[in-house]
Amino acid sequence: MTTVITYGTFDLFHVGHVNLLKRLSSLGDRLIVGCSTDEFNLEKGKKALIPYEHRAKILSSCRYVDSVFPESTWDQKPDDIIREKADIFAMGNDWSGKFDYLSDICRVIYLPRTEDISSTELRSIVHAYRQDEIQQVKTAVSSLSQMIEKL
């Protein structure tokens, strides 16, 4: 049995995540996912919009994922690989080279990400929509204020 292990925040779960998990699961018989905790994300300078418990549950419900565990530190990866008897450590290619040091305990693979989709991009889009809505409210309030003054 070939076990594949990967890690990520998996915030704002989207088709890019599904594509990556599907490709990762095709590399072996079992896919194990380390999902970054909220506390660890803060240490990394990230703030997940979806809480860890929800992200872990979403991942667990994905047919490509066999099990999920919390990722709490950068340093836990070697122990996780040994504990899970992982044969392959795989990540998106935006991490290329960063985890090559793990190649002494398992095979390390970097897979291409889905183009034109990312949680960062989704956050930007949501922020832009929010700013547009705020501007619309400000314009409406200004118009109402002008109408009231005329009365």
Query: Which residues belong to the active site?
Result: 44, 46
Question: Which residues fall within 8 angstroms of residue 8, CB to CB, at 6 or more apart?
Answer: 17, 33, 34, 35, 36, 91, 92
Beta bridge partners of 68: 33
SS (H, E, C) 15-34: HHHHHHHHHHHCCCCEEEEE
**The pair of three-digit structure tokens given for residue 88, joined into one six-digit string:** 């392959």
